[in-house]
Each structure stands twice: as C-alpha cells, then as structure tokens.
C-alpha cells in the first residue's frame, strides 16, 4: 500500500530462505531467545509471500492440519492392522509409514 514491498514473489522466497538460514544459525548456537525472534521473522516472511500470492494463510494452515491428521490416523491404523506397536516403532519406520500414508491419501 505504501510501496514498501518486494517487486517479485521470488524475492520474497529468497527472503524466506535468508530468514531460515538465520534461524538455523541461532538453533545451532543454542540461543533460544534469538530462535524465538527468528521464527517470528520466518513466519512474517511466509505470511507476506502468502498475501502476495493471494493465499489465505489461515485456510491453508487449517487444510494442511486436516491432511496431517488424516495421514497420521492412517499411519496408526496401518500399524495396528499389521500388528506393529506404533509407539515403539523407530522414527525411520514411522517415516516409511508416513510415505505410505502420503501415497494413499494425497
């Protein structure tokens, strides 16, 4: 509105990458208060990109949350049907179930 905006959407994506790099640095260095700030910067940049792209962030997050729940429920059911104790599965095995869920529930 006041001309303080990126010219191209790709510029915002580059800003998101920059903010993610800064977040990663703070995580590696263990500075929790800075991690808090950098997460805010990442979210702000993503929201800016969404606004620029005409995507409703709240609706997008709501839909992806529903998809996650469907896939997670599928994973639990799949494990149960295959006599697997989901809680005791190593993360690598859970990742395999996640890939199956993604194929079955796009």
pLDDT (tens digit per residue) in 65-74: 999 999 999 9
CATH number at residue 32: 1.10.287.1080
Q: Give me the mean pLDDT over the 19-32 stretch.
A: 96
- Distance CA(43)–CA(15), nearest Å, equals 11
Same domain flag for 84 and 49: no
Structural domains in the chain (count): 2
64 and 24 both lie in a single domain: no
Whether 32 shows a pLDDT value over 70: the answer reads yes
DSSP state of 82: T
27 and 67 together in one domain: no
Same domain, 65 and 45: no
Long-range contacts of residues 79-87, Cβ cutoff 8 Å, at least 24 apart: none
The CA distance from 19 to 96, in Å, is 30
The boundaries of the domain holding residue 87 are 56-106
Instruction: Please compute the mean of the pLDDT values over residues 22-39 and round it to a whole number.
Output: 96
Which pLDDT belongs to residue 76? 96
What is the pTM for the complete model shown? Answer: 0.76
Residue 11 and residue 23 in one domain: yes
55, 75, 97 - which closes a domain: 55
């Amino acid at each position: 509105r006041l001309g303080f905006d990126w010219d191209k959407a790709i510029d915002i994506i580059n800003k998101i990458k920059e903010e993610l790099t800064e977040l990663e640095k703070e995580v590696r260095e263990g500075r929790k208060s800075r991690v808090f700030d950098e997460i805010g910067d990442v979210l702000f940049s993503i929201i800016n990109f969404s606004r620029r792209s005409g995507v409703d962030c709240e609706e997008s997050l709501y839909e992806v949350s529903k998809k996650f729940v469907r896939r997670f429920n599928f994973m639990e059911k799949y494990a149960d049907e295959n006599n697997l104790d989901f809680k005791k599965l190593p993360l690598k095995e859970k990742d395999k179930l996640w890939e199956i869920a993604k194929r079955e529930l796009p």
